[in-house]
Structure 1
Amino acid sequence: MAALDQVTQPLRLAAGATLARAGDTRQYVYTLTDGALRLVRTLPDGRRQITGFVLPGDYVGLTETLRHRHDIEAIGESRACRTPLADMRRLRERYPQLERKLMQRTSMELAAAQDAGLLLARLQPSERLAHFLLRLGARGALSGHPTDVVMLPMGRGDIADHLGLTMETVSRTFTKLRQQALIALPQLHKVQILDLPGLQRLAGDIA
């Protein structure tokens, strides 16, 4: 960690700031330390597709592609660290434990991308939202947050663009899950899971 700190530069990102754009040459590996980022693709018809969210502790840019495949945007005020690719490669060769950790992160990113593809193939909005909440809840639990509380740093519009739904459908589906006593909505950006087994059944086999 000390060697990594020596080649890492901290960054502050204002809400809405763009960290990198699709097509830019990949020069750094980024680590998010606070806030949240979204990975955005613009479809040929101009619509926006959010392929994933980056939360504290997540890395961006670990793949071996030469260019970024997404716009990387800050949802709110965020902090990140960036490490030049050449320095990261040297550290991965020097420290096998770092290489193992980064490989694990890359595998997690691949699994998340596969999950996103499955979500878009599902027909029921409630199934998509249930799986999304469970996935966020599991990531929060790994960081020491309560297992029955899901924090949503992103807005309903971002969730809609991630799940392939309209914002109105996302809002209605949140209300439906609340009426079914699966969740409570104490705050706009906070969800409390009231019936974990019920939410897992709704999410199906991919949860």
Structure 2
Amino acid sequence: MQRGAEFSIMLGRIELMNSRLSGSEEALATITRERLGERKRSRILIGGLGMGFTLRAALACFPDDAEITVAELVPAVVAWARGPMASIFGTSLDDPRVSIEIADVGKVIRSGRRFDAILLDVDNGPEGLTRQSNDRLYEIEGLVAALKALAPKGVLAVWSQGADPKFAQRLLKSGFAVDEVRVRANKGRSGARHTIWLASSPGN
């Protein structure tokens, strides 16, 4: 939906995202960059294109030699990014560091490729709304697959609309070291807070 310069992506009457609220999605990228530290040719996988907040933040904070893959399951989302929402995305989809794959991010994780970081902003977090199949990303099997897909001392960063103690426990059981961060949705000092889990893989 569009009202003036404001965009909203809805599931029925439920608002999944709004172009006015980008703080926590941007933090998903910036906090991950801080945790990774300096690395050459960082390989980043972003699950879910959405309105591109995480992608644009990643392009701003990762160096020019980074490789950023975005896996988006719904082709219409990519079409919106190149069509009615092009003013929001700017040139981010055409950045040479970026490749867009119309694919289930779970399949990309299981493809045998290795990543320094996997950033998941899929279906409002572990308690999914849109597709039951997304739950597999957040169960033990999916988390173990993500751990195997990460380089040593890599980071799995997961965005969620709210807290979920059971999910944090599943991360620990899957072999990750886990931190939980609460960040503002609107980048200000008030308003809703969202949750980001930063799960680190062991080093060699």
TM-score (normalised: structure 2):
0.32
Larger relative strand fraction: 2
Rg larger in structure: 1
TM-score (normalised: structure 1):
0.32
Larger relative helix fraction: 1
